[in-house]
Structure 1
Amino acid sequence: MSKKKGPPADQPRVHRFDQLPDSARLYTKDMCELLERHRQSLWRYVRAGHLPKPQRLFNGQPSWSVGEIRKVLKGERVT
Structure 2
Amino acid sequence: MAKASDGKEKRIPDALRNFDQLPDSANVGFDIAAALCGVSVTTAWRMARDGNLPKPKRISPRRTVFNVGELRAHLATL
Question: TM-score normalised by the shorter chain: which range applies?
Answer: 0.7 to 0.9
Number of the residue aligned with 1:74: 76
Residue by residue over 1:6-47, the C-alpha shift from the partner in whole angstroms, topping out at 9 and shown as x without a partner, is: xxxx95211111100001101111112222210121012112
2:38 equivalent in structure 1:
36
Count residues in correspondence.
67
Q: TM-score, normalised by structure 1?
A: 0.72
- Counterpart code for 1:19: Q
What SS does the corresponding residue of 1:57 show, helix, strand or coil? strand
Give the gaps of 5 or more residues in structure 1: 1-9
Pairing 1:1-79 to 2, within 5 Å after superposition: 12-58=14-60, 60-75=62-77
Which structure shows the bigger proportion of residues in strand conformation? 2
Give the TM-score normalised by structure 2. Answer: 0.73
Query: Take 1:28 and 1:69, find their aligned partners in 2: how far apart are those partners?
Result: 11
State how far apart, in whole Å, the 2-side matches of 1:66 and 1:60 are: 19
Say which SS state the counterpart of residue 46 (structure 1) adopts.
Answer: helix
